[in-house]
Structure 1
Amino acid sequence: HLQLPPAQRPARFASSTPFADASSMMNRLLLLLLASLAHGFYLPGVAPREYKDGERVDIRVHKLSSPRTHLPYDYYSLPFCRPEEIVKQAENLGEVLHGAVIQNSPYDIYMGKSEFRVACRRQLNQPQRVSLAQRVRQDYRVHMIMDNLPAATKMIAEMPDGTKKDMYDRGFRLGFIGSKDIPGTDAGKPYINNHLRFIVKYHRSDTFSGARIVGFEVEAYSVQHTFDGTWNEQDPKLTSV
């Protein structure tokens, strides 16, 4: 699969893997996730919760935001994968007006388990493709929450003295615009990030039972997925990962 590089360095895409076109060529949305667990450190001042191995960890969706438009949108205003029933976790008027309603998601994450799953496969109509392409062009970011921690994208910044430093940006990019500097893309065409890798950082200690989540990172990729034979919702056989 393709790894989405930091927003400032889009040219690091591999040229051998096709992208998921968000406009004219894309008529399906295949969203996948890959959960990866890593050790981290407890952050003092945050009310901790301990998770047992195998216990479900909820991922909630927040909103879509753009530094260009400053106009937030509800997460499900776009045709993302949905749970069987959407439950709003925050419903006061202020949060609704600011696009900050927090809702559940279809993602299944379990403490201590690292696995790859297909979240859904959706047919997109023309208005949905247009909406996705428009939001990508407007540089929208997707915001999620896990255990009261916001999702973040990790970037490596080069300091004036030549050293490198890890930096974090809230949320992850909905997509990107192709250019001649990104091999395998068409210049000016929007591409959707349809493949997500969740990195859950946690801390274990002899002073408590279970694991405490201390970090939630998302790596977003654009992949034109393929599969063998007839599509099987229960047991998809992807050939693109």
Structure 2
Amino acid sequence: MWVRVVIAKCSVDYAGRLNAHLPLATRLLMLKGDGSVLIHSDGGSYKPLNWMSPPCTLSAIEVEPDQAEAGITEIWKVTHAKTADLLVINIHEMFSDTSHDLGVDPGLIKDGVEADLQKLLAEHIETLGEGHTLVRREYYTAIGPVDILARDAMGVHVAVELKRRGDIDGVEQLTRYLELMNRDPLLAPVTGVFAAQEIKPQARTLAEDRGIRCVVLDYDALRGLANHNTLF
């Protein structure tokens, strides 16, 4: 993969599903190896002011005399291969033009996803309360796997549903598990814990109304416990 980064004084016109115009200003132009072209300013956070997604082609077109008199030195035309949308970049002055070979990107590795939370909570099941013990992770039922099955200090089974952000759907999911598991004489009674890094107020209200305990997890604290255990 490669990227070409250009700092230039330019104006930009877009013609497609809607028309848009960027007046003359100094901007960042980014041309990527996947064929995309992005136009950024200092504002707008990470979002480009305008862009063309691949597949598209970029070509330089001849500058007419009247355009040259207006200060245009280069004209780039970016055409989308499927929609025929058109992006025209009129360059008046080029301040920087560099290209870089980025190599092969390994992709985004997410930290703190539900699988990480499940592993850490299983290793530190006492986070749910003193005397809790782990039965198993991914306890399979006829309607799907419960994230964690544990026992509390009294030996009562506890079904734990884990989410990064807990909403009503997660509570409904745990409710279905509990209804099924409490029909099993080898498991019943089974209580529920809805655990997440963040629990929405509506989800908490519904869970508590159904007798489900809510636990907010601190991922960094759990990870710190894991790191501490590996040091000594």
Q: Give the TM-score normalised by structure 1.
A: 0.23
Rg larger for:
2
The structure showing larger relative contact order (alpha-carbon pairs under 8 Å, at least 6 residues apart) is: 1
Task: Answer 1 or 2: which has greater helix percent.
Answer: 2
Q: Give the TM-score normalised by structure 2.
A: 0.24
Task: Answer 1 or 2: which has greater strand percent.
Answer: 2
